[in-house]
Amino acid sequence: MSVDVGAMPSGAPSSLLERVAALRREIAETACAAGRDPSSVALLGVTKAQPRSAVVAAIGAGLRDIGENYVQEARAKYAELPPVQKHFIGHVQTNKARAIVELFDVVQSVDRLEAGRALGQAQRALGKRIRTLVQLNVSLAERFGVAPSDAPALAARLREEGLEVDGVMAIGPLTADRSAIRDAFRRAAQAFGEVGGSTLSLGMSGDWREAVACGSTMVRLGTVIFGVRG
Ligand SMILES: *Cc1c(COP(=O)(O)O)cnc(C)c1O
């Protein structure tokens, strides 16, 4: 199926199916070059600002993890999808906690106790358990996220609230300085070791190679799969 959404960088394969296949190969190669098992890096397709048809096409291309930043947008796109893991990667507003637990399997962006409490309450009310990640702040430009040094304490409090904390997520710094990106990702990887769990969610379209080299177990890719957001 060829769904062409957004403009792609020149040289990129023209169909979504081919782009996903090419990315999977490159991710595997990058993992191997870093001495890692290529199957240890999952690919999360970020479909924000893309139509439902893009979500369906991504699942058709074999993606098993998809992500959205906004509850409203997800609600419209997620009706009657095949079974995949749905990840919430946007800011958690406490008044949206119930809708988030209803719609998603994983919340990657828990950065304060208040948000965790609201998710915990929603889980109990709905009788549904989700997985969560602690969002770290490793970039001066980012508004959200907890300092890596505060992440283990937050994770412990969230677990007391009944949440399953399965690792950490971070957004890399917006810079062309590759070594600054690697430094930030190394700080995130260290905090991951202290928090525990199975998921180190690091890397987006512009920095996933550094993320895989630094131990990412999940890269979150939007633009390089779906094209530039309109
Ligand atoms: C938008 C977004 C992504 C995907 O970004 P691309 O650069 O398009 O790959 C990944 N993670 C988060 C948290 C996002 O908001």
CATH code for position 164:
3.20.20.10
Residue 5 belongs to some domain of the structure:
no
Residue 4 belongs to some domain of the structure:
no
Among the ranges given (7-16, 125-134, 213-222), the one the predictor scored with the smallest mean pLDDT: 7-16
Confidence of residue 12 (pLDDT cuts 50, 70, 90): confident
Nearest residue CA, atom 10 of ligand 1? 220
Residue 3 belongs to some domain of the structure:
no
Residue among 48, 136, 201, 225 whose CB has most ligand 1 atoms within 8 A, to mutate: 48
Is residue 222 lining ligand 1, measured as CB closer than 6 Å? Answer: yes
For all residues of the chain together, what is the average pLDDT?
95
Nearest residue CA, atom 11 of ligand 1? 220
By residue range, what is the domain housing residue 155?
A: 16-226
Residue 8 belongs to some domain of the structure:
no
Residue 2 belongs to some domain of the structure:
no
Q: How many domains does the chain have?
A: 1
Residue 67 belongs to some domain of the structure:
yes
- Asked if 115 and 144 touch (Cβ cutoff 8 Å), the reply is no
pLDDT at 10: 67
- 113 membership: H or E segment, kind and range: helix 113-126
Pairing of strands 85-88, 106-110: parallel
SS3 of 208, please? Answer: helix
Is residue 69 lining ligand 1, measured as CB closer than 6 Å? Answer: yes
**d(Cα 25, Cα 19) in Å, to the nearest integer?**
10
Among the ranges given (6-20, 121-135, 214-228), the one the predictor scored with the smallest mean pLDDT: 6-20
Give the mean model confidence (pLDDT) for residues 208-218.
98
- Asked if 145 and 160 touch (Cβ cutoff 8 Å), the reply is no
Q: Compute the distance from residue 125 Cα to the ligand 1 centre, in Å.
A: 30
